[in-house]
Amino acid sequence: MSQGLNTMSTLAAFIYTCKAAVAATLAILLCELFNLPWPVWAAVSALIVIQPSLHPSLRASVVRVVANLIAAVVGSALHALIGIQLVDLVLGIMAVGMICHHTKLDDGLRAGYAAVAIVTLAMPDNTFEGAVYRVVAVVLGCLCAVLVNVVFDKLGTKEPVPPGEASGGGHGE
């Protein structure tokens, strides 16, 4: 189960905060490097997906990434097809909620709902190109978060996992 910042040691909270800062910064820098629009959404996606530790939360990270991807595609498709932000948002949330439920990704719903909001409310255009850029930003942010979690794990910047959390059975969010 993921720990909230108020239940972590000071060191664990500091490491988690550093990971969040690194993941968001990496997402923005990669967007700038590849001249991609809307780096803020890559950063937001990275912050949604980042986890305090890798092993107990690997399933939660994967679930959040997949839910983000589903939501980015659904929200972008709705926004490109309908183009009315409030309608796109509501239909996107409903579709993502049901898709995640039926694919056993309920633990990623908050991340998915946030991604729907990112892709439906933040963009003034409803072109296919705009939809692709939104999906790319979300994917890039998710990948940055996973990469940062792996790198920090390999560097040994984690505290021992409390008993009962090692199985990854928590639902964390």
HSE-up of residue 35 (Cα within 13 Å, Cβ side)? 0
Is this prediction's pTM over 0.75? no
CA distance 20 to 47: 6
What pLDDT is attached to residue 159? 54
Residue 5's pLDDT band (cuts 50, 70, 90)? low
Sign of CA dihedral 6, 47, 28, 87: negative
* CA-to-CA dists, residue 48 to 28, 65, 125, 137, angstroms: 14, 9, 24, 13
CB 24 within 8 A of CB 43: yes
What pLDDT is attached to residue 124? 63
Going from N- to C-terminal start, the domains of the chain cover: 7-154
Residue-wise pLDDT tens digits, 110-132: 889 988 988 888 666 666 677 77
Residue 138 CB neighbours (<10 A):
32
